Chains A and B, each alone.
Chain A
Amino acid sequence: MIYREAGQFKSTYASDQAVFPIRQDRIVVGLALAAAVIAVPLVADEYWLQAVLIPFLIYSLAALGLNLLTGYAGQVSLGTGGFMAVGAYAAFKLTRAFPRLNVLIAFLLAGLVTALVGLVFGLPSLRIKGFYLAVATLAAQFFLLWLFNKVAWFTDYASSGTITAPPRTVASIMVTGPAATAPVRYLTALAFVAVFAMIAKNLVRGRVGRSWMAIRDRDIAAEIIGVRPLRTKLLAFAISSFFCGVAGAEYVFLYLGSAETLAFDINVSFLVLFMVIIGGLGSILGSFLGAAFIVMVPIFLTNVPHLLGLAMPVALQKQIELMVFGGLIILFLIVEPHGLARLWQVSKEKLRLWPFPY
């Protein structure tokens, strides 16, 4: 009854094209954002911020990037981990080479570097499609990680082969490094995700997004009506990689603190792809829902036996975790192949009519 747009008339083009055309949506999104900015840092403890919320925000950003590429432009990529690694290593090199550089700008520059790399690895997409392309992007994944492992320049000749987030301040507040507090890192990640989600939302409903979707739905037809495949696909790869690169930089600088290439292995690529598919291909909201789901499930599975008072050997727990994770993925695909975003859409339709469905 509350969720009904009756009486909200659109009298201008601007209001017709608003991102959230329904007033209740605007209120909910505004409240959620306010809660995330103000309430969460006050309420949440260190564990929640560090183990749940920060990875959630970072994975959301990566999922957002992959969703632009896979969900909107229809190019399946298994190279997300590699692209995130590019972002992380680029940010590391930039902050080391220019110590006075604002670290937030370093993140964005790292995104740009990743976009360039993504552009290169996106080139085969002009000729290769579907699963062939997915396997081709694996080349990016393995090659990039091998490169970062082998060439010591990328780690500044660190003997351990790890990159460490250097301590950096923005407006005299410690943002990265061991001294940065969890709430600050959380807010930084939140700011990035919020801004990029807004950018993504506006990208996909504009000319660029429409040309992506045209390529996704039927590339030859799109080409005939004047969408340039070269430009469109490469743009998708570049922008997607930009998002993934920033996410990768955040992954090391705001979440892990220090990392080696192992942190970006093929499993990360699969994890992000899961987020996109379970959340919903071609949905901005879905990227967040999927990331929340995938981040929460392992934590949930680790904690449930403790809550029930069952003591399990670690190995057994790990195996059961794998089984449940796999089973859940299959279950979700069967129940709603279009992802959590579609579930939300359906419940929204129902909410509009509730409590009088006829």
Chain B
Amino acid sequence: MLELLYAVLVGPVKDMAGAPAFLAEVIIGGLAAGLMYSLVALGFVLIYKASGVFNFAQGVMVLFAALTLVGLMERGAPPALALLATMAVMGALAFAIERVVLRPLVNQEQIILFMATIGLNFFLEGFGELAWGSNVKKLDVGIPDSSFMVWGVQVNRLELTAAITAAVLVAVMAVFFQRTRIGRALRAVADDHEAALSIGIPLNTIWIVVWSAAGLVAIVAGIMWGAKSGVQFSLSLIALKALPVLILGGFTSVPGAIVGGLIIGVGEKLAEVYWGPLVGGAIENWFAYVLALAFLLVRPQGLFGERIIERV
């Protein structure tokens, strides 16, 4: 019994203290992975904030964006043009989704909308593979997937770029939400659909804007994931990893998505490296969920979520 306690509580900590450089590398790896989750979670938050739709298809949108970009580049389009075209495609997708899925389902219960996005998930998955083929593609963004040393710790260039991109993206979004006219309208819609409608905010336009914005975030996430591990079907599975990030950070909070992603990423890596061997490894699959679950028991609305006030 005492040995078990030692193995669970003391051993890993001793390992950590024994090799601080390795620990730093694990943490940095976790932060990088967490940022990737955050990028996906960001798209979720955008859509949930503005339309109350829990968009399960965000992961597939990431895949779809990456597929489109790679597909265009493979056919000889210059990268800049391909990027613009992908943006246009995601915009068109947002428009189509608003018309075909959201508008007929307006005022339905959340669970119905959620199921509709799962349907969308299947559809986009089939469509993306139909249009661009299902083999793994290499996305080359011109940043080598190599490392350099900072104070004896390896830092990956690609991950660093992803981190900077994510930071810029969040800053831009914060400005967009706080300062621009559309951003203010978005927040109004998020607050109260009906009140927003009654003061003349066009709900349908807002939805298209939001889904397009989520599409843009999906492009960024797709580029980063694609450059790291190739553009392939498993990209859509990261949507599932974004879910614990969301509940940890709160569905409605942009900083929550970032911080939640970082916590999940680091927690997952630490658990896998230091505690994983005790139970046979591969705990990465569920550790994030259990972490989020444990967290929810203390704070049901997530880290930065709006306080849930319930009335009869």
Contacts and interface: CB of A to CB of B under 8 A. Distances in A.
A337 B108 contact: yes
A334 interface: yes
A2 B109 CA distance: 37
Interface residues of B, number: 51
Nearest to B281: A150
Main SS of the interface on chain B?
Answer: helix
Contacts of B54: 131
Nearest to A323: B126
B292 A139 contact: yes
A326 interface: yes
B312 A220 contact: yes
B282 A146 contact: yes
Contacts of B281: 150
B130 to A, nearest CB: 4
B13 interface: no
A320 B100 CA distance: 19
Contacts of A270: 118
B247 A274 contact: no
Interface of B: 54, 100-101, 104-105, 108-112, 114-116, 118-127, 129-130, 134, 240, 243-244, 246-247, 251, 279-283, 285-286, 289-290, 292-293, 296-297, 300, 302, 308, 310-312
Nearest to B135: A315
B285 A146 contact: yes
Contacts of A324: 126
Main SS of the interface on chain A?
Answer: helix
Shortest 7 CB-CB distances between A and B: which pairs?
A322-B126, A326-B123, A326-B122, A329-B119, A139-B289, A323-B126, A142-B286
Nearest to A78: B243
A159 to B, nearest CB: 16
Given A135-B289, A146-B286, A150-B280, A330 B244 contact: no
B281 to A, nearest CB: 8
A48 to B, nearest CB: 26
Nearest to B48: A131
A131 B114 contact: yes
A226 to B, nearest CB: 14
Given A132-B247, A329-B122, A315 B292 contact: no
6 contacts: A274-B118, A326-B126, A327-B119, A330-B123, A333-B105, A333-B119
B286 A329 contact: no
